[in-house]
């Protein structure tokens, strides 16, 4: 059973069509949209500020979503994939974004729509990722504009695949 619990009387809001893996943790002021999936060992900790997650968001194995006490909530848009072991902390992620495996997005960052954060990238505090770009490196910098092929071939494909993958676990 996943750990889903209230913090200071605030209980996570999770639609019935969302998949939460058996050992995932979702606590406190967390609001999720439709068709989301939270995978094995992922932690969404809405204890110090709110976390708002849109529709069709997948938070993959080992990822951590948190915020900063009283200053930086976390907001994640629609159609977002957060890769294995990524950290998303006190920031804003707009729609149609891929956050790569092992990447870190720090407080007060804004990742605009149709963007990719490469695996292992580190977005330092307050970085703004412009729409339609790919950021990579430590600290992360823009490396190129994103193509329409990457938007449909990676961002959309991964989000749709995770809806399919989660359906495999609902039948068990």
Report residue 56's pLDDT band, with 50, 70 and 90 as the boundaries.
very high
CATH code, 130: 2.160.10.10
The answer for residues whose C-beta is within 8 angstroms of residue 58's C-beta and 6 or more apart is 36, 37, 38, 39, 80, 81, 82, 158, 159, 162, 163, 166
Q: How many domains does the chain have?
A: 1
Instruction: Tell me the C-alpha to C-alpha distance, in Å, between residue 91 and each of 7, 46, 161.
Output: 21, 13, 25
Helix, coil or strand: residue 169: helix
Instruction: List pLDDT tens digits, range 125-158.
Output: 999 999 999 999 999 999 999 988 888 888 999 9
In the 8-state DSSP scheme, what is residue 7?
Answer: B
Total-model pTM: 0.96
User: What range defines the domain where residue 54 resides?
Assistant: 3-170
Report how far residue 163's alpha carbon sits from residue 127's, in angstroms, rounded to the nearest whole number: 30
pLDDT at 172: 54
């Amino acid at each position: 059973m996943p750990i889903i619990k209230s913090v200071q009387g605030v209980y996570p809001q999770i639609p019935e069509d969302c998949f939460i893996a058996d050992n995932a943790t979702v606590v406190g002021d967390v609001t999720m949209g439709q068709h989301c999936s939270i995978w094995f060992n992922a932690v969404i900790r809405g204890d110090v500020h709110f976390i708002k997650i849109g529709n069709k968001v997948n938070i993959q194995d080992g990822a951590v979503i948190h915020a900063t006490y009283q200053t930086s909530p976390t907001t994640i848009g629609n159609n977002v994939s957060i890769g294995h072991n990524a950290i998303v902390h006190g920031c804003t992620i707009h729609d149609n974004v891929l956050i790569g495996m092992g990447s870190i997005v720090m407080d007060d960052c804004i990742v605009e729509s149709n963007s990719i954060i490469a695996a292992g990238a580190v977005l330092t505090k307050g970085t703004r990722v412009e729409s339609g770009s790919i950021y990579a490196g430590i600290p992360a910098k823009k490396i190129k504009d994103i193509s329409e092929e990457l938007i449909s071939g990676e961002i959309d494909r991964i989000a749709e695949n995770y809806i399919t993958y989660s359906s495999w676990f609902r039948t068990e």
